[in-house]
C-alpha cells in the first residue's frame, strides 16, 4: 500500500500553513478569473509566474495548479447565473445551466455543478496518484527516439483537437518550434537567429510569448467590442437539488468524470475539449435528448465534472513523462524550470514532497472550492460589475511589471508587446495560438531528443520506426493525422469542438 | 492594404485603384525588400552578388501575381498563408549562416531550417486553400492594428541605437533619463498620429508597454507605472479621465507596495537622482 503511504506524505506536505494558504489563494484567484470573462487561466498563470519567484517550489506549483482548476469552478457560476461563460470550458454549461436558472432552479444547478466538480476532483486525484508510479517506470524504458515520437504524438493530438483548420494548427506548431530555436544552440552554443541582439542570445522567454499571445492579444481584441455587459441579477432560492435531480445527475457525473479523465491525460486534450465531449456524449446517450438546452440537469453535471477531471489529470503526463499535454501544462513546465526542477520521471523519486504534495493539494483545493464557492456566489456575480475599462489597465501593468522583473530587462516588456501584436494578427486570421505555445515549449526537448536519437543510431532515421514503442507511437500519430485530414470527419469534428483550448 | 476586402467582388479604394492591385503592389514591394537591403548592407564586394544575397524575399512576389490574376475568395487564409511563407523565408535567411549536417550529426542550423521549410510548405498550402475555397472577409483592423503597433516598436530602434548621442543633448541631466524621455515622447506622439489609421486598442496598449519599458529603469517603478497606466487608459473610447486618474493612482500604489515589499522583487521605486 505504497500509494496510501505516499498520499499520506503528500497530505502532510499540503496541510502546512503556508501551502494551505497558497492553495487557498490559488483557488480564489482561479475562481475570480474564471468568473471574469476576458482573462483566462493561461494569461493569469503567465502573469503570476514571476510572482512565484520568492516562494518555495512546492508552494508555487500548488498555487498555480489551484488557479487552473479553480477557473473551471468559477466559469460555471457565471455561465449558470447570467449566461456569460467566464471560461471557454464552461461554454456548454451555459446552455442548460442558464436555462435552469431561468426556470428558477439556479440553486440546484450551481449545487450540482459544485458536487460534480468535487466528485470528479476526488476521482482524478486518486487517478493521478495511482497512475504516477506505473507511468514513471514506463518512462524509464523510453530512449531519445521514444521521447521524440511521444512528443510528435502529443503535437498531433493538439492538431486534431484544435479548433478550425488542421493545416493552420500544424503551421502554428511549426512556428512555435521555429521560435523555440532562437537563441543558443543546445550542443554547440552557437547563436542562432539572434542577430547579435544580446536580449535574444538566451532565447525567447516562455513567459514573454505566453503573456503576449494570450494576455495582450486578448486585451487588444476585447477593446474592439464595446458591448456593455448587462448583469441580470437572479435570486437564488433553494440550493439543494431534489431527489430526482440527484438520480438524473449521478450517472452523468460518473460518465463525465471518466471521459474527462481520459481526455485530460491524452496529449493535446484539456478541460475545454473534455467539457464539450462530455456534453455531446450525454446528449447522445440520453433517452430524452430534446430536454438538452432547456434545462436538463445532466447537461450541467456532465461537462462540469469532465472539465474539472481533465484539468487535474492533465498533470499526469507532465509529472510522469515531463511532457506537457496542453498549453496550460506547458506553462507549468515554465514554472518548474524557473524553480530549477526538470519535469520528468525523476520528479517523483527526487522530489517526493513536490509530487505528492501537489497531488494532495488538489484534493484539498477541491474541498476548499466547494466550501467557499457556494456562499460566495453573490460576491462573484457582483464582481462582474467591474467595467472592462478598469480591468484591462490592471492586467496590463501586472504583465509589464511581472515580465520586467524576471530578468530586470526592459527588452522583455517590448517583446511582450510584440508578441501581443503577433497574437492579435493570428486571431484575426483564424489561427489558434495554443498549438504554437505547445510547439514552443516542446521545441528544445524535441530537437535535443531528435539529435540524440540520430546520433545514437549513427544517422539512420529508420530508428524511429524500427524501435517498437517509438514505431507504435508514430503509427498512431500518422493514423490520427490521416483521420483528421479526411474532410468528412473534420466537418463532424468542428461540430463537436466549436471552441478550442483557452 | 485596406481593410475588409470583400470576397470575390472587385473593390475600389479611395484612390480609385482596385483593391487587389494594391495588395499585389504591396507584395511586390515586399519581394524587393531583400535585394534592396542586400545592396545597401550586403557583405560581398560586387553589386550583383550583394543583390543576390537578398534573394530570400523574392518568392513573395508569387503572392503578388496571385493577387493580380486570381480573385481572393478567402482573404483570411490567403494573407495568413502569405505571412507564414514570409516568416519561413525570414527564418531561412536568419539561419543561413549556421552550419548544417555534419556527417550523421545535426548541426545548429539543421533544425531551424527544417522547421522553416515546414512553415513555408504549410504556408503555401494554406494560401492554396485560401485561393480555392470561399471564406469570410477580412476582419476590420486585421492589418492596421499590428502594423501600427509595429511602427511604434520599430521607432524605438534608432533611439536605442543612437542613445549615446541623444543622451548628451542637454547638459546636466543624466543621459539615461533624457533617452527615456525622448523614447516615451516619440512613442506617444506616434501613437496619437497613427490613431487616425489604426485602431486605438493595439496602438495604445503597445504604446503603454513601450513607455513602461523605456522609463522603468531610469525613472523608477512609480513614475513608469503611472504614465503607462494613463496611456493604456486611452486605448478605449470609453475612457473617463477622472476615474482613470484615480484608478491609476490606486494601481500604482498597489504595485509599488506589492512588488518590491510584498514579493521582495528588486525593483527601483523612484528616479535615480
Over residues A254-304, the pLDDT tens digits come to 898 998 888 888 776 677 778 888 888 888 887 777 777 777 888 888 888
Q: Distance (Å, rounded) from C-alpha B42 to C-alpha B53?
A: 7
Among the listed residues A319, A341, A334, the one whose alpha carbon sits nearest the alpha carbon of residue A50 = A334
| β-strands A183-184, A191-192 pairing | antiparallel
Q: Is A450 on the interface with B (CB under 8 A)?
A: yes
Contact A373, A367 (CB under 8 A): no
Q: Distance (Å, rounded) from C-alpha A375 to C-alpha A357?
A: 28
Helical (H) or strand (E) element with A192: strand A191-192
Place of cell 503528500: A10
Q: Is A420 helix (H, G, I), strand (E, B) or coil?
A: helix
Q: Is A185 on the interface with B (CB under 8 A)?
A: yes
Q: Distance (Å, rounded) from C-alpha A479 to C-alpha A156?
A: 10
Crossing angle of helices A410-428 and A388-407, rounded to 10°: 130
What DSSP designation does B136 have?
P
Give the number of other Cβ atoms within 10 Å of residue A459's Cβ.
13
pTM of the model: 0.81
Compute and round to an integer the Cα radius of gyration of chain A.
22
Contact B192, B211 (CB under 8 A): no
Q: Which of B99, B205, B264 sits opposite A219 (nearest CB)?
A: B205
Q: Is B238 helix (H, G, I), strand (E, B) or coil?
A: coil
Give the number of other Cβ atoms within 10 Å of residue B70's Cβ.
13
- Testing the interface with A: which of B99, B242, B265 to mutate, by most A Cβ within 10 A? B265
| Chain B residue nearest residue A188, CA to CA | B108
- Residue A215 sits at the vertex; the CA angle it makes with A210 and A219, to the nearest 5 degrees, is 155
Across the A:B interface, residue pairs with CB atoms under 8 Å apart total 218
The answer to whether the Cβ–Cβ distance between A226 and B267 falls below 8 Å is no
Helices (H), chain B: 19-41, 47-52, 61-69, 75-94, 110-132, 144-161, 163-166, 175-194, 200-233, 241-257
Q: What's the gap between Cα B230 and its chain centre?
A: 23
Contact A401, A409 (CB under 8 A): no
Q: Is A425 on the interface with B (CB under 8 A)?
A: yes
Contact A177, B122 (CB under 8 A): no
Give the phi and the psi of residue A265 in degrees, each rounded to 5.
Answer: -70, -40
Q: Is B179 on the interface with A (CB under 8 A)?
A: no
Q: Distance (Å, rounded) from C-alpha A200 to C-alpha A411?
A: 9
The answer to whether the Cβ–Cβ distance between A188 and B108 falls below 8 Å is yes
Cell of B106: 545535426
Q: Distance (Å, rounded) from C-alpha A492 to C-alpha B66?
A: 32
What DSSP designation does B54 have?
T
Place of cell 430534446: A290
- Testing the interface with A: which of B5, B74, B89, B149 to mutate, by most A Cβ within 10 A? B149
Q: Distance (Å, rounded) from C-alpha A457 to C-alpha A259?
A: 39
Residues 77-106 of B with CB under 8 A from A: 77, 79-80, 83-84, 87-88, 91, 94-95, 98-99, 103-106
Contact A146, A464 (CB under 8 A): no
| Chain A residue nearest residue B252, CA to CA | A397
Per-10-residue mean pLDDT, chain B, length 273: 40 58 78 76 72 76 79 80 87 80 71 88 86 75 81 84 78 80 88 84 90 88 90 83 89 85 74 68
Q: Which chain A residues are within 8 Å of B234, Cβ to Cβ?
A: none
CA distance A129 to chain B (A): 32
Q: Which chain A residues are within 8 Å of B129, Cβ to Cβ?
A: 165, 167
Contact A246, A298 (CB under 8 A): no
Q: Which of B99, B150, B267 sits opposite A421 (nearest CB)?
A: B150
Whole-angstrom CA distances from B226 to A152, B198, B243, B249 are: 46, 24, 14, 7
pLDDT at A235: 56
Among the listed residues A347, A338, A331, A323, the one whose alpha carbon sits nearest the alpha carbon of residue A442 = A323
Q: Which of B98, B145, B238 sits opposite A389 (nearest CB)?
A: B238
Give the number of other Cβ atoms within 10 Å of residue A31's Cβ.
30
Number of H helices, E strands in chain A: 24, 2
CA distance B108 to chain A (A): 6
End-to-end CA distance of chain B: 47
What ipTM goes with this model? 0.86
Q: Distance (Å, rounded) from C-alpha B214 to C-alpha B156?
A: 9
Q: Which chain B residues are within 8 Å of A405, Cβ to Cβ?
A: 259, 265-267
Q: Distance (Å, rounded) from C-alpha B198 to C-alpha B148?
A: 6
Place of cell 435552469: A100
Q: Which chain A residues are within 8 Å of B98, Cβ to Cβ?
A: 185, 190, 192
Q: Distance (Å, rounded) from C-alpha B181 to C-alpha B211?
A: 9
Among the listed residues A64, A40, A19, A11, the one whose alpha carbon sits nearest the alpha carbon of residue A338 = A64
- Testing the interface with A: which of B99, B211, B212, B229 to mutate, by most A Cβ within 10 A? B212
Contact A86, A34 (CB under 8 A): yes
The answer to whether the Cβ–Cβ distance between A221 and B255 falls below 8 Å is no
pLDDT at A163: 65
Q: Distance (Å, rounded) from C-alpha A181 to C-alpha B113?
A: 10
Q: Quick one: residue B70, left, alpha or beta (phi over 0 = left, psi -120 to 50 = alpha)?
A: beta
Contact A10, A360 (CB under 8 A): yes
The answer to whether the Cβ–Cβ distance between B111 and A450 falls below 8 Å is yes
Place of cell 464582481: A383
Residues 6+ apart with CB under 8 A from B270: B220, B222, B223
Cell of B202: 493595439
Tell me which residues of chain A have a pLDDT lower than 70.
Answer: 1, 37-38, 84-87, 162-163, 226-239, 268-269, 384, 487-502
Q: Is B111 on the interface with A (CB under 8 A)?
A: yes
Q: Distance (Å, rounded) from C-alpha A58 to C-alpha A455?
A: 36
pLDDT at A419: 92
- Testing the interface with A: which of B72, B80, B199 to mutate, by most A Cβ within 10 A? B80
Among the listed residues B25, B156, B255, the one whose alpha carbon sits nearest the alpha carbon of residue A402 = B255
What is the b/e burial string over A178-212, where b = at least 16 CB atoms within 10 angstroms of the residue's CB? bbbbbbbbbeeeebbbbeeeebbeebbbbbbbbbb
Q: Distance (Å, rounded) from C-alpha B43 to C-alpha B31?
A: 20
Residues 6+ apart with CB under 8 A from A9: A352, A353, A356
Helices (H), A181-270: 206-210, 217-222, 243-265
| Chain A residue nearest residue B156, CA to CA | A414
Bridge partners, A192 (sequence order): A183
Half-sphere exposure of A100 (CA within 13 A, CB side): 35
- Testing the interface with A: which of B125, B138, B209, B262 to mutate, by most A Cβ within 10 A? B209
Among the listed residues A466, A458, A444, the one whose alpha carbon sits nearest the alpha carbon of residue A146 = A466
Give the phi and the psi of residue A390 in degrees, each rounded to 5.
Answer: -100, -25
Amino acid at each position: 500500500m505504497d500509494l496510501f503511504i505516499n498520499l499520506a506524505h503528500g497530505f502532510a506536505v499540503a496541510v502546512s500553513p503556508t501551502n494551505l494558504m497558497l492553495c487557498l489563494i490559488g483557488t480564489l484567484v482561479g475562481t475570480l478569473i474564471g468568473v471574469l470573462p476576458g482573462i483566462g487561466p493561461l494569461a493569469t498563470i503567465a502573469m503570476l509566474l514571476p510572482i512565484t519567484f520568492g516562494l518555495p517550489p512546492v508552494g508555487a506549483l500548488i498555487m498555480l495548479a489551484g488557479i487552473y482548476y479553480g477557473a473551471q469552478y468559477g466559469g460555471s457560476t457565471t455561465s449558470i447565473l447570467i449566461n456569460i461563460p467566464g471560461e471557454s470550458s464552461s461554454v456548454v454549461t451555459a446552455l442548460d445551466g442558464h436555462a435552469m436558472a431561468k426556470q428558477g432552479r439556479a440553486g440546484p444547478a450551481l449545487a450540482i455543478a459544485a458536487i460534480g466538480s468535487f466528485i470528479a476532483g476526488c476521482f482524478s486525484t486518486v487517478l493521478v496518484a495511482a497512475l504516477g508510479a506505473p507511468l514513471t517506470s514506463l518512462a524509464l524504458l523510453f530512449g531519445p527516439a521514444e521521447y521524440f515520437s511521444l512528443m510528435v504524438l502529443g503535437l498531433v493530438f493538439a492538431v486534431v483537437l484544435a479548433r478550425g483548420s488542421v493545416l493552420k494548427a500544424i503551421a502554428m506548431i511549426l512556428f512555435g518550434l521555429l521560435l523555440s530555436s532562437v537563441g543558443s544552440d543546445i550542443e554547440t552554443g552557437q547563436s542562432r537567429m539572434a542577430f547579435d541582439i544580446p536580449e535574444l542570445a538566451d532565447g525567447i522567454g516562455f513567459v514573454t510569448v505566453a503573456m503576449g499571445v494570450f494576455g495582450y492579444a486578448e486585451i487588444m481584441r476585447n477593446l474592439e467590442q464595446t458591448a456593455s455587459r448587462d448583469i441580470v441579477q437572479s435570486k437564488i432560492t433553494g440550493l439543494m437539488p431534489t431527489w430526482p435531480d440527484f438520480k438524473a445527475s449521478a450517472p452523468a457525473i460518473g460518465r463525465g468524470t471518466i471521459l474527462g479523465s481520459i481526455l485530460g491525460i491524452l496529449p493535446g486534450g484539456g478541460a475545454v475539449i473534455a467539457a464539450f465531449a462530455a456534453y455531446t456524449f450525454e446528449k447522445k446517450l440520453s433517452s430524452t435528448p430534446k430536454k438538452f438546452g432547456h434545462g436538463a440537469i445532466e447537461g450541467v453535471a456532465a461537462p462540469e465534472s469532465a472539465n474539472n477531471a481533465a484539468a487535474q489529470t492533465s498533470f499526469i503526463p507532465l509529472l510522469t513523462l515531463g511532457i506537457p499535454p496542453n498549453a496550460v501544462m506547458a506553462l507549468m513546465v515554465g514554472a518548474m524550470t524557473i524553480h530549477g526542477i526538470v519535469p520528468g520521471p525523476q520528479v517523483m523519486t527526487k522530489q517526493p514532497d513536490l509530487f505528492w504534495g501537489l497531488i494532495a493539494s488538489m484534493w484539498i483545493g477541491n474541498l476548499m472550492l466547494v466550501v467557499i464557492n457556494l456562499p460566495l456566489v453573490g460576491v462573484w456575480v457582483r464582481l462582474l460589475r467591474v467595467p472592462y475599462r478598469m480591468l484591462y489597465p490592471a492586467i496590463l501593468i501586472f504583465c509589464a511589471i511581472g515580465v520586467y522583473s524576471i530578468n530586470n530587462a526592459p527588452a522583455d516588456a517590448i517583446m511582450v508587446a510584440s508578441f501581443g501584436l503577433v497574437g492579435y494578427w493570428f486571431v484575426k486570421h483564424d489561427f489558434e495560438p495554443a498549438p504554437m505555445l505547445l510547439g514552443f515549449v516542446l521545441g528544445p526537448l524535441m530537437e535535443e531528443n531528435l539529435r540524440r536519437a540520430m546520433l545514437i543510431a549513427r544517422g539512420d532515421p529508420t530508428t524511429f520506426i524500427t524501435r517498437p514503442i517509438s514505431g507504435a507511437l508514430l503509427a498512431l500519430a500518422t493514423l490520427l493525422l490521416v483521420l483528421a485530414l479526411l474532410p468528412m470527419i473534420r466537418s463532424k469534428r468542428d461540430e463537436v469542438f466549436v471552441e478550442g483550448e483557452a | 492594404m485596406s481593410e475588409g476586402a470583400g470576397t470575390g467582388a472587385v473593390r475600389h479604394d479611395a484612390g480609385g485603384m482596385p483593391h487587389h492591385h494594391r495588395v499585389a503592389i504591396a507584395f511586390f514591394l515586399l519581394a524587393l525588400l531583400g535585394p534592396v537591403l542586400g545592396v545597401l548592407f550586403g557583405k560581398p564586394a560586387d553589386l550583383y552578388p550583394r543583390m543576390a544575397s537578398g534573394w530570400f524575399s523574392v518568392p513573395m512576389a508569387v503572392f503578388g501575381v496571385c493577387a493580380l490574376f486570381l480573385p481572393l475568395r478567402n482573404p483570411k487564409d490567403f494573407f495568413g498563408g502569405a505571412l507564414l511563407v514570409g516568416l519561413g523565408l525570414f527564418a531561412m535567411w536568419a539561419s543561413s549562416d549556421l552550419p548544417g549536417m555534419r556527417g550523421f550529426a545535426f548541426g545548429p542550423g539543421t533544425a531551424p531550417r527544417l522547421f522553416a521549410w515546414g512553415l513555408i510548405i504549410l504556408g503555401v498550402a494554406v494560401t492554396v486553400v485560401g485561393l480555392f475555397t470561399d471564406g469570410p472577409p477580412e476582419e476590420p483592423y486585421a492589418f492596421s492594428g499590428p502594423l501600427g503597433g509595429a511602427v511604434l516598436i520599430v521607432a524605438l530602434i534608432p533611439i536605442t541605437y543612437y542613445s549615446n548621442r541623444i543622451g548628451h543633448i542637454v547638459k546636466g541631466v543624466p543621459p539615461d533619463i533624457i533617452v527615456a524621455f525622448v523614447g516615451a515622447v516619440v512613442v506617444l506622439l506616434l501613437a496619437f498620429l497613427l490613431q487616425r489609421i489604426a485602431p486605438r486598442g493595439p496602438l495604445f496598449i503597445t504604446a503603454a508597454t513601450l513607455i513602461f519599458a523605456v522609463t522603468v529603469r531610469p525613472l523608477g517603478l512609480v513614475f513608469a507605472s503611472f504614465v503607462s497606466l494613463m496611456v493604456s487608459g486611452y486605448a478605449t473610447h470609453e475612457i473617463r479621465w477622472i476615474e482613470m486618474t484615480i484608478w491609476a493612482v490606486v494601481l500604482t500604489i498597489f504595485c509599488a507596495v506589492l512588488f518590491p515589499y510584498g514579493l521582495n522583487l528588486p525593483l527601483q521605486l523612484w528616479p535615480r537622482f
